[in-house]
Amino acid sequence: MNHIKPIVVFLLGMLTVLGFAPFYFFPVPVITLAILLGFCYHSRTPRQAAWWGFCFGMGLFSAGVTWIYVSLHDFGAMPVHTAVIALIVLCAYLSLFPALSSWLLARLQPSSFFLWALVAAASWMLCEWLRGTLFTGFPWLTVGYSQAPHSPLVGYAPLVGVYGISLLLVLSAALLFICFEKGFKNWRYGLPLVLIWLSGFGLQMIEWVKPEGEPVSVSLLQGNIAQDLKWREDHLENTMKTYADLILASDSRLIVTPEISIPLFSDVMPKTYLSYLSEHAKKNNGDVLIGLAERTVDGGDDYYNTMFSFGSAPEQHYRKHHLVPFGEFIPLKPIFGWVIDVLKIPLADFSRGGLDQQPMDIAGQRVAVNICYEDVFGEEIILQLPQATLLVNVSNDAWFGRSIGPQQHLQISQMRALETGRYMLRATNTGVTAIIDERGKVLQTIEIFTTAALHGWAQGFSGATPYVRTGNFVLLVLAGLILTLGLMSAFRGRGKTR
């Protein structure tokens, strides 16, 4: 029987993926995590609990980040066996964090059920935050994302962000397990669970921000340029024509192209081309955002993933700050420099833009731009708030192919809208291009892998949610205090005498 348990826990991790997009079955992670916590509660040693956490993580990540294989093999030209090994190694690394959380819970052994539930939630949340921070971070599949946008728990997003929702989700799972363990007739443990979810529903009624000005017309362009064609010189003219046609067909004040929509350095971009598009934007009394690569004018080796604005407002730009390891920069280059030769990725060693960049004043709005992977880091998005009235994410999720990756990325953008109380406009190469309102609801989208423009309206907002003002600081302090209480309980030697 013991050899079956790791398989069961692994399958629980896989089932947890059903909580995320494109499935959106948000109650599933509560149930699967409740069962995992049951395994940890009845584990004989902290090491065994860590093993359950590791198995759960392997199931979660092996099912949830399969798109990485597509990026490495299908578009990065990595051999099959090497891509599989790389994916397994990554999943094993990511699984160390739920293993650490489970180990901490079993090691501290809080003396009361309520404290045990709080320690379970705090340890999981802190380990997720650590996963999203170490080595530039990989917060994908943070369990809080599974609740966007339909769960009552998203009512807490403007207060505590995605990590706070993770804490409340795991706390709910712990209380659910206690109810099963002690019996549902014992209302003391069921009542906090009900209050958490009812409060989340009530919090959704609060207006944290207010509309500013009139809605602005927007066009979000989806060029649908195949990834294996994008950087080919013989396809450049077709790419430029595709985006020129889409831009010239729009009468919106704000027109947005995806990241590096034109695969050229800005200094060699035909001036007549940009001037033509800029004049069209001026006729609309607005601006167009165009993604280009940018290199330093002094002939240095630095180059950036940059969005430029052209049109009625003075020209502005935003340089991507948070880069993708091994996709946009090579960490520890003396050790991992060989990866550049294995992965056939153009411009694989970008430089970072500044973290203090401010919103663009364009199309009558103050637009906070974030490029692709950057919208996974909510604590960085809020650095341009509350000044920004709109959020814009530009991406090229063609790297994910027809996997669940683009839908998961859309759900992440929905969480950013919920946290900040701002519309999120997504312009992507192949999808998912969408307009998301300040409540995290997708108002409009277009079919993926089609060449099209999404025309609609976006309302600017002003004001700051509590999360915008405090970020993760208060939540991290709270989680630290909970673990301190758990540690004090362990020192008092109460063990599992609940």
Instruction: Dump pLDDT digits (tens) for 58-68.
Output: 999 999 998 88
Please state, for a pLDDT cut of 70, what percent of the chain lies above it.
Answer: 91
Same domain, 303 and 350: yes
Is 498 within the bounds of a domain?
A: no
Same domain, 200 and 215: no
Model confidence at 325, pLDDT cuts 50, 70, 90, reads confident
CATH classification at residue 378: 3.60.110.10
- Give residue 340's pLDDT: 57
Model confidence at 348, pLDDT cuts 50, 70, 90, reads low
Look up residue 195 and give its amino acid.
Answer: L
Same domain, 288 and 331: yes
Quick check: 497 pLDDT over 50?
Answer: no
Is 150 within the bounds of a domain?
A: yes
Q: Is 372 a catalytic residue?
A: yes
Q: Is 374 a catalytic residue?
A: no
36 versus 74: the higher-pLDDT residue is: 36
- The mean pLDDT of 290-301, rounded to a whole number, is 80
Instruction: Go through the chain and tell me how many residues it has.
Output: 498
Same domain, 113 and 96: yes
- Give residue 327's pLDDT: 65
Cβ atoms of 208 and 421 within 8 Å: the answer is yes
Same domain, 143 and 276: no
pLDDT, tens digit (0-9, with 9 covering 90-100), for 420-459: 999 999 999 998 999 999 999 999 999 999 999 999 999 9
pLDDT, tens digit (0-9, with 9 covering 90-100), for 59-94: 999 999 988 887 776 666 678 888 888 899 999 999
Of 128, 259, 294, 328, which is the active-site residue? 259
Q: Which residue range(s) make up the domain with 393?
A: 210-464
Quick check: 350 pLDDT over 50?
Answer: yes
Is 294 within the bounds of a domain?
A: yes
Is 160 within the bounds of a domain?
A: yes
Is 497 within the bounds of a domain?
A: no
Stated as kind and residue range, the H or E segment containing 95 is: helix 80-108
Give the span between the Cα atoms of 46 and 250, in whole angstroms. 60
- Give residue 346's pLDDT: 61
431 versus 298: the higher-pLDDT residue is: 431
Same domain, 167 and 114: yes
Give the span between the Cα atoms of 7 and 298, in whole angstroms. 57
Is 322 within the bounds of a domain?
A: yes
Cβ atoms of 203 and 156 within 8 Å: the answer is yes
Quick check: 183 pLDDT over 60?
Answer: yes
Is 85 within the bounds of a domain?
A: yes
Alpha helices in 319-439 (DSSP H): 333-336, 339-342, 378-381, 405-420
- Give residue 253's pLDDT: 98
pTM: 0.94
User: Which pair of tokens denotes residue 111?
Assistant: 């003396």
Other C-beta atoms lying within 10 Å of the C-beta of residue 263: 20
Pairing of strands 303-311, 461-462: unpaired
Same domain, 256 and 234: yes
Is 290 within the bounds of a domain?
A: yes
pLDDT, tens digit (0-9, with 9 covering 90-100), for 355-403: 999 999 999 999 999 999 899 999 999 999 999 999 999 999 887 888 9
- Give residue 395's pLDDT: 95
- The mean pLDDT of 248-253, rounded to a whole number, is 97
- Give residue 301's pLDDT: 72
Same domain, 315 and 192: no
- The mean pLDDT of 458-487, rounded to a whole number, is 96
Quick check: 490 pLDDT over 80?
Answer: no
Of 55, 91, 179, 372, which is the active-site residue? 372
Of 320, 374, 379, 419, which is the active-site residue? 320
**Cα 131 to Cα 91, 186, 273, 473, distances in angstroms:** 12, 36, 43, 16
Work out the mean pLDDT of the chain and round it to a whole number. 91
Same domain, 203 and 214: no
User: Which pair of tokens denotes residue 443?
Assistant: 């108002």
- The mean pLDDT of 3-32, rounded to a whole number, is 96
- Give residue 379's pLDDT: 96
Same domain, 185 and 254: no
For the residues of 278-347, what is the DSSP string, one character each?
A: HHHHHHTTSEEEEEEEEE-TTS-S-EEEEEEEEESSPP-EEE--SPPBTTTB-TTHHHHTTHHHHS--SS
Quick check: 315 pLDDT over 90?
Answer: yes
Name the domain count of the chain. 2
Q: Is 282 a catalytic residue?
A: no
Give the span between the Cα atoms of 170 and 293, in whole angstroms. 42
Same domain, 140 and 195: yes
Same domain, 94 and 132: yes
